[in-house]
Structure 1
Amino acid sequence: MGDFGNLLLQITWDFYGPVIRPSVGGLHVCVCAECVERVKEIRIQYFYFLIVSKKNKDGKLRDKDHYRIVSPAFQYKMSHRRVGKCIIINNKNFDEKTGMNVRNGTDRDAGELFKCFKNLGFDVFVYNDQTCAKMERLLKEVSEEDHSDSSCFACILLSHGEEGMIYGTDGAMPIKSMTSLFRGDMCKSLVGKPKLFFIQACRGSEFDDGIQTDSGPPNDTIETDANPRHKIPVEADFLFAYSTVPGYYSWRNPGRGSWFVQALCNVLNEFGKQLEIMQILTRVNYMVATNFESWSEDPRFSEKKQIPCVVSMLTKELYFN
């Protein structure tokens, strides 16, 4: 019968197996209340299913490990007229009173992100050097728009930062004051839809010294971003992808851009329309953790590492295809 047939048999057994009972002369399907409820429960998972397979170069189907059963009931609907809006706030230059340096390399980040999210189908808009008031006003206006024909929303913040804070060109403000504008009780047209925030900024002043493994990583010159109808929860369906963990620096190369954005764009360009968002960000974590290490003539800033951090309140799987 082959792997495909065996897979269908397994699904059939999962569907009916729990309610099949032996009887004289064979089997019968039990229709007691308990079993009927069990069928309803399983039906939610398997009634609609999609088997995705890929072919090898010789045209033959790959083995069973490459079959993927997808249940639409547990996936975000991405079939709206538009994928959605992507806002990129790119802060490079800061008022002298803030004590923040110019963020060299951030324009490279913004450019790569623009192309990357455009390729995923987003309507991308870039805003450079925004004050705190302008950032909040911009996102408030976006949150008040009608997103009914959009599948999701994305916002990318490129700036200096501290834990829980992001810098406008004139000072720092709480990240939550911007993200909360998109809560379910504030932005009704995005209720039940994924709201993605990617934040390239420091979250403190600690360095990650790393720990030796079996293989040595490549070097990178340094710069940092710091000084730095049924009810659902209003905080549901958010995802925050931070460039680093709480308390730590976030590294940036003046020529190539930040480590996190380099890795994010690399993975999205290659797998953005194939993998689920958490798979994508796990690969980003791996790439940042293994492919980057700081180098400096000052030993205090040399041989440092970084690991991104994902905080997810998503309630379904998210595929951009």
Structure 2
Amino acid sequence: MCTLHRTCHLRRERLHNGRSKEKRLKEQLGTQQEPVKTSIQESEAFLPQSIPEERYKMKSKPLGICLIIDCIGNETELLRDTFTSLGYEVQKSLHLTMDGILKVLQRVACMPQHQDYDSFVCVLVSRGGSQSVYGVDQTHSGLPLHHIRRMFMGDLCPYLVGKPKVFFIQNYMVSEGQLEDSSLLEVDGPAMKNVESKPQQRGLCTVHREADFFWSLCTADVSLLEQSCSSPSLYLQCLSQKLRQERKRPLLDLHIELNSHMYDWNSRVSTKEKYYVWLQHTLRKKLILSYT
């Protein structure tokens, strides 16, 4: 083979070997490379799906029982019209003694109709102390507010387990000097022992007995009633207005605005004319007091 041919052959061989090495290198690199990642915007595979906001079911007709206990007599018609318009079956009791309040609450807490309804509302208007209500008899013992709530907890009121239980309480504060000395109902008397000693077991329940309560308590000085016996509670007036005009909004949002209204009022009036509002709740979902 001539020198020229030998040189050409060597060049072709080097070129071939170079291409083979390059090919092998690419193959090796190809097995080590990670798959190409597509951005979230491009693939949309990892975009979080929209989670519907969890709300309490409010579809039953009626939505539930609204129990109104008015021991003053100023609020009944306003409250009845408000909760009837929202879709509740209103039951009202007027001018009850403390024992009468207890008996009505016990009766309503045990009603089997609750199993067919989606919620329960109780509005209680009375004279009382810081942690109790007196009814029309105004006795020293009083009916403790925590006993009222206890009657509607899950173990004693199984038909309302998992459903919102809403309480609006207007309590006109009475000084101890204005109370009668009566033993009509002691705090630990037979009536309350009877409530505590009869839990109703209706199968296993995973919802805590204290869940799903909305407890709004407003206190005001009893002198407001003495100034004008027919004057309704500013708290209940504002509450009724908001529930009627903005019924599709969450109850917590409406209550925040109610608080603001009460504080604005308090900033302009004397101590005897002020309303003090406390809210406690154990809601687990959004609550709208209207058909949703």
TM range, smaller chain: 0.5 to 0.7
After TM superposition, give the deviation of residue 25 of structure 1 in Å.
3.4
Tell me the number of residue pairs that the alignment of Structure 1 and Structure 2 aligns: 219
The whole-number CA distance in structure 2 between the counterparts of 1:254 and 1:152 is: 32
Matches within 5 A, 1:1-321: 24-27=35-38, 46-47=50-51, 49=52, 71=53, 74-92=54-72, 106-107=73-74, 109-146=75-112, 147-170=114-137, 171=139, 172-202=142-172, 231-244=206-219, 249=221, 251=224, 254-271=229-246, 273-291=247-265, 293-294=268-269, 301=272, 304-321=273-290
Question: What runs of 5+ residues in structure 1 fail to find an aligned partner?
Answer: 1-22, 30-37, 50-70, 93-105, 206-225
CA distance in 1, matches of 2:275, 2:231: 16
SS in 2 for 1:243: strand
Question: Are 2:127 and 2:172, in contact at CA under 8 Å, matched by a contact in 1?
Answer: yes
Letter of the 2:87 partner, please give it: G
How far apart, in 1, do the equivalents of 2:238 and 2:100 lie?
A: 29
Look up the SS of the partner of 1:307 in the other structure. Answer: strand
Verify the 8 A CA contact 1:161 1:202 in the aligned structure 2. Answer: yes
Q: Can you give the 5+ residue segments of structure 2 that lack an aligned partner in the other structure?
A: 1-33, 41-45, 180-203
Deviation of 1:115 (Å):
0.6
TM-score of the two chains, using structure 2 as the length reference: 0.67
Between the aligned partners of 1:112 and 1:241, the Cα distance in structure 2 is 18
Q: Quote the Cα distance in structure 1 between the aligned partners of 2:99 and 2:229.
A: 27
Whichever structure has more helix as a proportion of its residues is: 2
**Amino acid aligned to 2:209:** V
Specify the SS of the correspondent of 1:186.
Answer: coil
Asked whether the 8 Å contact 2:122–2:168 carries over to 1, the reply is: yes
Amino acid of the structure 1 residue aligned with 2:66: C
Q: Report the Cα distance in structure 1 between the residues aligned to 2:214 and 2:289, rounded to whole angstroms.
A: 15
CA distance in structure 1 between the partners assigned to 2:237 and 2:61 by the alignment:
30
The structure with the largest strand share of the pair is: 1
Query: Structure 1: how far apart are the matches of 2:126 and 2:109?
Result: 21
For residues 160 and 238 of structure 1, the distance between their equivalents in structure 2, rounded to whole angstroms, comes to 23
What is the CA distance between 1:238 and its match in structure 2?
Answer: 1.0
- Cα–Cα, structure 1 residues 143 and 158, in superposed 2: closer, same or farther, change >3 Å? same
CA deviation map 1:40-70 (0-9, x unaligned)? xx76xx34x3xxxxxxxxxxxxxxxxxxxxx
Which residue matches 1:9? none
**Worse-superposed segment, 162-171 or 183-192:** 162-171
Q: Give the deviation of 1:175 after TM superposition.
A: 1.7
Between 1 and 2, higher relative CO (CA 8 Å, sep ≥ 6) is seen in 2
